[in-house]
Structure 1
Amino acid sequence: MSSPSSIVHDEGQSSEPLLDAERGRSTSIDGEGNSGRRAEFRSRSPITVKNNRGRYALAALMLVLSLGSFVLQTETAQYIQRDLGWNKAYCMMYLTHSSWALLWPAQLLVLRVRKRQIPFKNLLRSHLSLLRSTIDMILQADRTTRQQDIAHPFYYLLRCIALVTTALTIAGSTWYIAVNLTTPSDLTAIYNCSAFFAYAFSIPLLQEKPQADKIVSVMIAVVGVLVVAYGDNTDSQEPDSASSSRLGGNMLIGIGSVLYGLYEVLYKKLLCPPSGTSSGRSVIFSNTVCACIGGFTLFILWIPLPLLHWTGLETFEVPTGETAKLLSISIFANAIFSGSFLILISLTSPVLSSVAALLTIFLVAITDNILFGRELTSAAIVGGLLIITAFALLSWATWKEMREENEKEVSDLTSDIDEHDD
């Protein structure tokens, strides 16, 4: 998951001085008597382009990793439920989300292998110091931060994780419940409209300015999803009872779509380092947050399992044989997808990541055609091309926005240095 070279760099910098509250930069004095701000500018500005290219390359890698792992997870999960008959929706969600907790020890293992010469106690102390300084950066970048959060950053982290995990769990649960209430077409179309809600929430929560190119891109993506879902819809006329059930399912999955968009934006606002943070630090912190979400799920969200079993809504059964093997693969794929997806959000934006996730609709259709011979309909092709077009347009808009932010940051830093010299 993590780039080893980036981890080495950031772990080595974990003993850096505390960041000043105004700028989030060091204010130490270098060997020539210059302020840390001036020394930072000298060392940083020539490699800004290089750092940005590394950030874009890492984001592209996370995109490919998230798409591939999601397709693997989807195919195995469908086979487990449809063909093997282990249809335990909540239990599967609990197991897959709990598996995220393994990302943190896996990350520590990578660090241990890369730094075998360092005693593990010192390595762990350095790692925790980096996490603490990253939380400080997040708190200092948010002007609404309360003093008690600054004094107790890990309590802030736990509170935010509880919030985003709740939104994610409710959103995921609505999907599993609505599976048996509405049609697959409605389920796909409505749930994947979360890309629209991610953009809608980004405006008030992330202070994003409405931009025509982003709005058009999101709308094209939503249209693409609708084409895939309804373009070749051959559903027969439903009885009144089924229609009422479908309406309830659609309303339920609509709530899930809104909450999933909110989850992505809350994660970006509350748990992502500010722009300009090194990609290595972003990877480490995103993996850690994802692991914390998994830990919250593991220790708290087991409670509904016995309740579902006692009420008969979902009888608990231990998976065995082929089911257990494929379930392990599905869980592993989900952990990779979730970690890489949150890193993608951290490096880019919730809107771009959400639209990128829609690419999986087309990829799953292609995979079904190759592996199982299912027909690749014209609606799937047209809708997939629309989603790809929307993603390309949004990627271009996001890249321009990130480039402008970087240029503004360098310009502001130059002005600060000039003012200091005067």
Structure 2
Amino acid sequence: MSSQHHAAVHLGGKPAVALFTVALVAFVAETQLTQYVQTSLGFRHPYLIFYIVHSSFLLMFPLHALYLYATSQHTFEALRDSILDALLQHFSPKAEGITQGPSIFPTWRITRLVIFLTIGMSVPSLLWFVAVTMAPVTDVTALWNTNAFFAYIFTISFLKIQVDPHRLLGVVIATAGALAVIYGEADKTDAVSAQQASTTALIGDLMTLAASVGYGAYQVLYKVYAVLPNDPEVQAERRYSRLAPSAEDALMDDDEAAVMEESRALNDGIIRPLPFGLFPNLLTSLIGLCTCVLLWVPVPLLDAWGVVPFELPHGVRTYFTILCIAITGSIFNASFMVLLGVWGPIVTSVGNLLTIVLVFASDAVFGNAVETITVWSLLGCGSIVLAFGILAYDMMKGR
């Protein structure tokens, strides 16, 4: 096996590492901007912001396809035919052992998957958008990113796999570090407003915890049901494979299977495997389309019921901030879905715990919260970095 292929199996290559870095920065920017627009600018309409941000996801696939068209020899027709072929191969009944009859494009299966993915991503995200107005941004970030622990629990529960001591250690250290950041902060309110502030923060923390549990389940189910099993970037996480290989494929190693796939692609003009990140970006765009078409309905209902009066953003600064939230949110979620396929939910979610460190630092610098830095918060941030290092090393060894 070549070294290039080996690197692709375990790390996804330089594109995955670069994408991970971009995702961290985008999440920190989205978090700070979301809190800024709803607190400093006073535009407290989390559902409308959520709807705008998640609807903007639909641009990810067209932009990716346009980039490939401009920088490679792939035509739009080849990209279209390759995507349709991937959808047909992955979601048709034949993939589940039904071989009789002609191939029928699995429209309902794909539609059902997109609806489930939209719900799985939207509910936790909406809870996060609300919670960020009620609790300190560092608390929300820390609790949200404990989805690494829940992703590990759901992985064991859903897939009935044996507990890996290295991964368990990494997840436990990461979760403990996140809690240390939360409860290691100094008092941020005076004695008069402490009780009221703590009550509001508690509600925000509980909402974030519920979002974290839901997002942990979403990550595992996405990896099991949505990711293409034949992409070279996802081969390291075979524990998540739900499709049994054919008898012919079982006799071939990874290199032989790759050669066979390239041979088939040359014969029919289909791009196999798809360009890095293209299929996850397709799903991200479909989630954005589903959000745009279906999830506008609560906006007039909330206004009619007097729960959240409809209000357009006021001022150029508010419009621009929401635009930046949409851009950073799209970048983060698209990157995260790609990384779920490359690294799996456990390593990806623990890796995203590094956003706690970055948000903590940015909150201290830009939010004038230097007084929140304590020994416990520093130890918590260090534990998170250590935990990700353990999991990254374990993944590189190909455990």
TM over 0.5: yes
Verify the 8 A CA contact 1:98 1:298 in the aligned structure 2: yes
Verify the 8 A CA contact 2:141 2:355 in the aligned structure 1: no
Q: Which moved more, 1:325-334 or 1:174-183?
A: 174-183
1:64 equivalent in alignment to 2:21 = yes
- Work out which of the residue numbers 64, 70, 80 in structure 1 matches 2:37: 80
- Equivalents in 2 of 1:245, 1:46: separation in Å? 53
Shift of 1:138: 3.4
Q: Which moved more, 1:273-282 or 1:286-295?
A: 273-282
Label 1:396 to 1:143 Cα distance change in 2 as closer, same or farther (>3 A).
farther
Q: SS in structure 2 opposite 1:312?
A: coil
Shift of 1:202: 1.6
1:259 equivalent in alignment to 2:251 = no
Question: Match for residue 304 of structure 2?
Answer: 310
Verify the 8 A CA contact 1:80 1:86 in the aligned structure 2: yes
Shift of 1:112: 3.0
Question: Match for residue 108 of structure 1?
Answer: 65
Shift of 1:254: 3.4
1:300 equivalent in alignment to 2:300 = no
- Work out which of the residue numbers 374, 377, 385 in structure 1 matches 2:382: 385
Q: Which moved more, 1:154-163 or 1:136-145?
A: 136-145
Q: SS in structure 1 opposite 2:43?
A: coil
For 1:72-113, what per-residue CA distance to the aligned partner results, in whole angstroms no more than 9, with x for missing partners?
A: 212222211111111111111111111100112212221332
- Equivalents in 1 of 2:97, 2:333: separation in Å? 27
Q: Which moved more, 1:214-223 or 1:372-381?
A: 372-381
- Equivalents in 2 of 1:248, 1:72: separation in Å? 24
Verify the 8 A CA contact 1:344 1:353 in the aligned structure 2: yes
Verify the 8 A CA contact 1:139 1:145 in the aligned structure 2: no
Q: Which moved more, 1:78-87 or 1:220-229?
A: 78-87
Q: Which moved more, 1:307-316 or 1:232-241?
A: 232-241
For 1:139-168, what per-residue CA distance to the aligned partner results, in whole angstroms no more than 9, with x for missing partners?
A: 489975777997333432221111121122
- Equivalents in 2 of 1:83, 1:50: separation in Å? 45
TM-score between both structures, scaled by the size of structure 1: 0.74
Letter in 2 for 1:337: F
Verify the 8 A CA contact 1:191 1:257 in the aligned structure 2: yes
For 1:298-317, what per-residue CA distance to the aligned partner results, in whole angstroms no more than 9, with x for missing partners?
A: 11111111111122322222
Q: SS in structure 1 opposite 2:42?
A: coil
Shift of 1:399: 2.3
Shift of 1:270: 1.4
Corresponding pairs, count: 354
1:133 equivalent in alignment to 2:79 = no
TM-score between both structures, scaled by the size of structure 2: 0.78
Question: Match for residue 162 of structure 2?
Answer: 209
- Equivalents in 1 of 2:95, 2:224: separation in Å? 12
Q: SS in structure 2 opposite 1:349?
A: helix
Verify the 8 A CA contact 2:38 2:133 in the aligned structure 1: no
Q: SS in structure 1 opposite 2:117?
A: helix
Question: Match for residue 53 of structure 2?
Answer: 96
- Equivalents in 2 of 1:188, 1:146: separation in Å? 45
Verify the 8 A CA contact 1:132 1:153 in the aligned structure 2: no
Q: Which moved more, 1:128-137 or 1:159-168?
A: 128-137
For 1:15-66, what per-residue CA distance to the aligned partner results, in whole angstroms no more than 9, with x for missing partners?
A: xxxxxxxxxxxxxxxxxxxxxxxxxxxxx86863364488232211111010
Label 1:242 to 1:60 Cα distance change in 2 as closer, same or farther (>3 A).
closer
Runs (5+) with no aligned partner, structure 1: 1-43, 405-422
- Work out which of the residue numbers 185, 200, 219 in structure 1 matches 2:153: 200
- Equivalents in 2 of 1:220, 1:312: separation in Å? 45
- Equivalents in 1 of 2:336, 2:48: separation in Å? 22
Question: Match for residue 120 of structure 2?
Answer: 167
- Equivalents in 1 of 2:395, 2:337: separation in Å? 17
Verify the 8 A CA contact 2:11 2:396 in the aligned structure 1: no
Q: SS in structure 2 opposite 1:151?
A: coil
Question: Match for residue 270 of structure 1?
Answer: 225
For 1:187-212, what per-residue CA distance to the aligned partner results, in whole angstroms no more than 9, with x for missing partners?
A: 45543321111111222445543201
- 1:293-372 alignment to 2 at 5 Å? 293-319=287-313, 320-372=315-367
- Equivalents in 2 of 1:165, 1:255: separation in Å? 17
Q: Which moved more, 1:230-239 or 1:158-167?
A: 230-239
Runs (5+) with no aligned partner, structure 2: 234-272
Verify the 8 A CA contact 2:138 2:360 in the aligned structure 1: no
Shift of 1:389: 0.5
Label 1:314 to 1:187 Cα distance change in 2 as closer, same or farther (>3 A).
same
- Equivalents in 2 of 1:338, 1:291: separation in Å? 11
- Equivalents in 2 of 1:145, 1:251: separation in Å? 43
Label 1:130 to 1:204 Cα distance change in 2 as closer, same or farther (>3 A).
farther
Letter in 2 for 1:135: L
Question: Match for residue 12 of structure 2?
Answer: 55
Label 1:277 to 1:197 Cα distance change in 2 as closer, same or farther (>3 A).
same
- Equivalents in 2 of 1:142, 1:250: separation in Å? 45
Q: SS in structure 2 opposite 1:232?
A: coil
- Equivalents in 1 of 2:386, 2:146: separation in Å? 16
Verify the 8 A CA contact 1:188 1:229 in the aligned structure 2: no
Verify the 8 A CA contact 1:101 1:295 in the aligned structure 2: yes
Question: Match for residue 155 of structure 1?
Answer: 108
- Equivalents in 1 of 2:302, 2:6: separation in Å? 54
Label 1:196 to 1:150 Cα distance change in 2 as closer, same or farther (>3 A).
farther
Question: Match for residue 6 of structure 1?
Answer: none
Shift of 1:218: 0.5
For 1:363-393, what per-residue CA distance to the aligned partner results, in whole angstroms no more than 9, with x for missing partners?
A: 0121233334421602332211111111111
Letter in 2 for 1:388: V
- Equivalents in 1 of 2:102, 2:3: separation in Å? 35
Shift of 1:227: 0.5
Verify the 8 A CA contact 2:173 2:384 in the aligned structure 1: yes
Verify the 8 A CA contact 2:186 2:373 in the aligned structure 1: no
- Equivalents in 1 of 2:65, 2:137: separation in Å? 40
Label 1:233 to 1:280 Cα distance change in 2 as closer, same or farther (>3 A).
farther
Q: SS in structure 2 opposite 1:265?
A: helix
- Equivalents in 2 of 1:282, 1:140: separation in Å? 22
Q: Which moved more, 1:185-194 or 1:153-162?
A: 185-194
Verify the 8 A CA contact 2:146 2:212 in the aligned structure 1: yes
